[in-house]
Structure 1
Amino acid sequence: MSADLSASPTTGRTPTVIRLLVLATFVVILNETIMINAIPRLMTDLHVSERSAQWVSTAFMLTMAAVIPTTGWFLQRVTTRRAYALAMGVFLAGTALSAVAPSFAVLLIGRVIQAGGTAVMMPLLMTTLMTVVPETDRGRVMGNVTLAISVAPAMGPVISGLVLQVGSWRYLFLLVLPIAGAVTAFGLRHLENIGEPQTGSIDVPSVGFAALGFGSLVYGLSQFTTDNVATPALIVAAGIALVAIFAFRQLRLQRNGTPLLDLRVLLSGTYSKALVLMAVAFLAMMGSMILLPLYLQNLRHLSPLQTGLLVMPGGLAMGLLGPTVGKLFDRFGGRVLVIPGAIAITASLAGFTQISLTTPYVLLVALHILLMIGLAAAFTPVFTLGLGALPMHLYSHGSSMLGTLQQVAAAFGTALVVTVMTGRATSLVKNGTDPVTAHIDGMRLAFAVSAVLSLVVIVMAVLLPSRSANPAHGAAEANAEAPVLVKD
């Protein structure tokens, strides 16, 4: 049974289905960052090296990059309830396995399973939101979504720091498990199906090319170091080649089959600009998320919990501003928010280029809050403008591509700042500079590179329209025979 849009909640209220999906997405995204502080414990308890222990995060990211490209096809083939049940069921299974993992290998398997469930939730949430929420109210509802998906990553390291103060890393999973179980049960009791599934077989070679291509791309980028460039570069090159083969195959399937990821989303100029802006902004955000904790813990000698508490205000500011940004978007459009937001991102990253061993903590907090406010002002309007420029039958594919590019941008941002930082520091140490000064200088250069890249965000912000053109009239142009998921 498909839900009738005429029965959807009126403007001014968030539909129940969106509330349920936001709650579930909050839980799974919280889990994505909750392991950050657990690396030292894993090394001791499971007898692994630091590089091996980092795989609890790398494996998660790899799985997300490999699975998300398939979600556009998947979400058009199953009901909302079935997609939700499968995603949360897989997530619960991975969480339970991780909690009782007797070895590091089993823990990694658990994390991979968790990521498989997590990969479905964001595209499911975004696709459903764009389907059931009227265009005049999307900014407000997207703002509420931003609150959830921004606060969760900010809370992850803080919660993990508190838990690890009193117990084992296993409690991180045992804490999430009953919450996720209750959310799953509640959602299945109240969730209604939105739209009608389409028929169509999956193209198995496309799945393979997507998994290997995007997986290799993210893995290769995550392995870059100053003394290990050749091998990761080959892996990245192989990933790019496989992604190119994947793209050509999708173009072919668009003419005479069912594409796994419909590339016609790129025919929308507004969506393409939004995609570039989101990728570069996400790259800048991930770079700061890597550099700032390294600076605070390695050079200012703060504990992981203190570090989490120091960066938490920025994450909370980003999340709490989400609803306000959404309402402003509905009233005034995107440009009045995205352009100042883009400038704030660049200004904050430029400010971080001046860090030293005596930089006041209050200034660091202020710069981080400015960065998060800038991202909040950009993310909600850009999500809404980009997806709103697509015809309804391409919402799931647009969400899928956005999620995939975010994973690649996260990996690229991490690789870029770490390589720049360590390369600069190593060079200075060889020339006689003391290690601490060298590392500070390396971090400054890495922030400077991020600031320069963020200028692309300003350019894209200027090029974006204030409102998305109604794509309803252009749906036939994009795909004359594509079925619409939800009936008016």
Structure 2
Amino acid sequence: MHLSEKGHAYALFAIVVITCALGSLTQTVMNSMLTEVCDDFAIDAAVGQWVTTAYMLVMGITVPVVTFLSRRLSVKRLVYLALGFYLAGSAAGFFAPTFAVLIVARVLQAIATGITLPLVQSVAMTRFPRERTGTAMGIGGIAMGFAPNIGPLIGGALAGTWGWRSFYVMLVGLLALLWTATALLVKSHGDHESDAVFDFPSFVQSTLGFGGLLLGASNAAAMPLTAFQVWVPALLGAVFIVMFVLRQRRIEHPLISMGIFRSRHYRAAFVAQNCLFASFMGITLILPLFIQGPCGMTALDAGIAFIPATVVALFVNPLAGVLVDRIGPRKVCVTAALFLTVGAGSFMFVGSDAPLWLLTTLQGVRAVGVSALVGPLNSWGLSGLDRHLIMDGSAFFATARQACASLGTALMMLIISALGAGAVAAAGVDGGAALTALPYEAAFGLSTLFSAAVLATALWKIR
């Protein structure tokens, strides 16, 4: 099959975006299947949650290595590598006879997602004309915004009908189609460096650094800060991240070039994007707890509250990209940040008697802001980098925001656990129901602070 150069670029981008979307979907889909998984393997939830934790850790560890792989392999081979890991993981997940094998399957899938996350941004910025990069990044934002939000809904539907293993069967079929499409439609490019050097000490530092930080933040969501499992990995992670950054600045062949921070665009987008992910990822956990806890509603109600927001993400992500190309990033990012901040701030003033329609509406307002910011912040931030640094910038974006998302979630859970018991005790029997909403409102307040930081950065830095 013969395609024009533009046709090859479009085919490559479509395949990478769909693969990345499947990876983001896979990250969250098991959340609503956890009960069935635990029942099948006769394990408790504390062990079962490693299907999500292991995925998050491995994905965060993999992303920095993609910069080296992109220098050694053509983009087509890199796509094949991601699809190979994903296919192997999906097949292993379907046949998994034990929970340990399922974890191995999740690790293989997480490696694939770690490869495709920065690849989406790199292809968008290097294979499209400069006046179309905003649109491309907006479409790519669907993989980062829409896909993970729809994951729990799909997981719940499959778990209640065909069982959790059916998801892996579907993945194998879809990935086989993507493999075939890659073979037929994607052109091989000799855009790799055969002499690229892999700096193993940098890999060890990034693995221990980002892995430790992610593990500590994940444990903090369920344990007190004084717990050994929280502060030790978090402290070691922070130390190794500092060591990693310092080493990248002085060695000849860095795993990720710190030259990315010479760009004013990149520095501002880096701050805004990290605050954005710290703000909204925590809410995906806090809001369902608030709806089912102080509000006294059901798990179905909690799922309904996210449906409009999920639909919004599907349409607003590409629309924001188109608008960036037409009117520029400043107006889009400032307007989106206003939606984000107003939506987040409004949650601070809702009580336990708030109706579901109001909570759903406010979450929809927040979703407009989130969906309209992800792509534009990426495209504007990476636009200030030289072409050879695009993958480095994409990889560091993806790794840092994953860590900040986990940290934001952990801090919100810490606020709820720290204030929750005191609020109930202070309220007494009669006022307990009203006051137990206060810890959640405080957590919503932290989300609002992160959102306001995004707005301040957009107003101050984006031109």
| Residue in structure 1 matched with residue 140 of structure 2 by the alignment | 145
Letter in 1 for 2:116: M
What is the CA deviation profile of residues 209-257 of structure 1, one whole-angstrom value per residue up to 9, with x for unaligned ones? 111111001001111156352421222111111111111211121xxx2
1:88-487, aligned counterparts within 5 Å? 88-194=83-189, 196-198=191-193, 199-224=195-220, 225=222, 227-231=224-228, 232-253=230-251, 257-300=252-295, 304-431=299-426, 433=428, 436-466=433-463
Aligned partners of 1:161 and 1:305 also within 8 Å: no
User: Could you say if the C-alpha distance between residues 238 and 323 of structure 1 is closer, same or farther in structure 2, counting changes exceeding 3 Å?
Assistant: same
Q: CA deviation at 1:28?
A: 1.8
Query: Which one has a larger percent helix, Structure 1 or Structure 2?
Result: 2
SS across alignment from 2:72: coil
In structure 2, how many angstroms separate the alpha carbons of the residues matched to 1:421 and 1:399? Answer: 33
Shift of 1:148: 4.0
Per-residue CA shift, 1:405-437, capped at 9, x if unaligned?
111012101101111111110222343546654
Deviations 1:97-139 (A, max 9, x none): 1222222222112111110111001111211111111111111
- For residues 228 and 237 of structure 1, what CA distance do their matches in structure 2 show? 12
Query: RMSD between aligned alpha carbons?
Result: 2.1
Task: Give the count of matched residue pairs.
Answer: 457
Letter in 2 for 1:229: T
**SS at the partner of 1:15?**
helix
Alpha-carbon offset, residue 66 of structure 1: 0.9
Cross-structure match for 1:473: none
Q: Write the deviation string for residues 452-473 of structure 1: whole angstroms up to 9, x where unpaired.
A: 222211111012333xxxxxxx
Provide Cα deviations, 1:271-309, integer angstroms capped at 9, x if missing partner. 011011001001111011111122233445555455334
CA contact (8 A) 2:71 2:196 kept: no
Q: CA-to-partner distance for each residue in 1:133-161, whole Å, 9 max, x for gaps? A: 11111112222222343221222111111
The answer to whether the 8 A contact 1:270-1:385 is kept is: yes
Matching residue's letter, 1:210:
S
Helix, strand or coil at the partner of 2:306: helix
Cα 1:75–1:168 change in 2 (3 A) is same
Report the alpha carbon displacement of residue 92 of structure 1 after superposing the two structures with TM. 1.3
Distance 2:48 2:84 in 1: 26
Unaligned runs of 5+ in 2: none
Residue type at the aligned position of 2:152: P
**Aligned partners of 2:87 and 2:350: how far apart in 1?**
42
SS in 1 for 2:231: helix
Hey, what's the Cα distance between the residues in 2 that align with 1:65 and 1:450?
Answer: 22
* 1-structure distance, mates of 2:36, 2:295: 21
Q: CA deviation at 1:87?
A: 0.7
Structure 1 residues 78 and 304, CA gap change in structure 2 (3 angstroms) = farther
Q: Which amino acid aligns with 1:251?
A: R
Is the 1:37–1:304 contact (alpha carbons within 8 Å) kept by the matching residues of 2? no
**8 Å CA contact retained: 1:148, 1:319:** no
Distance 1:43 1:363, change over 3 A: same
Deviations 1:59-88 (A, max 9, x none): 111111111111112112101111001111
Distance 1:33 1:302 in 2: 22
Give the 3-state SS of the residue equivalent to 1:136 in structure 2: helix
Supply the AA of the counterpart residue of 2:438. D
Superposition TM-score, scaled by structure 1 size: 0.89
Equivalents in 2 of 1:108, 1:136: separation in Å? 43
The whole-number CA distance in structure 1 between the counterparts of 2:22 and 2:404 is 23
Q: What is the identity percentage for the equivalent residue pairs of Structure 1 and Structure 2?
A: 27
> Structure 1's 365 and 162: CA in aligned 2 closer, same or farther, altered over 3 A?
same
Which residue type is aligned with residue 244 of structure 2? F
SS in 2 for 1:200: coil
- TM-score by structure 2 length? 0.93
Unaligned runs of 5+ in 1: 467-488
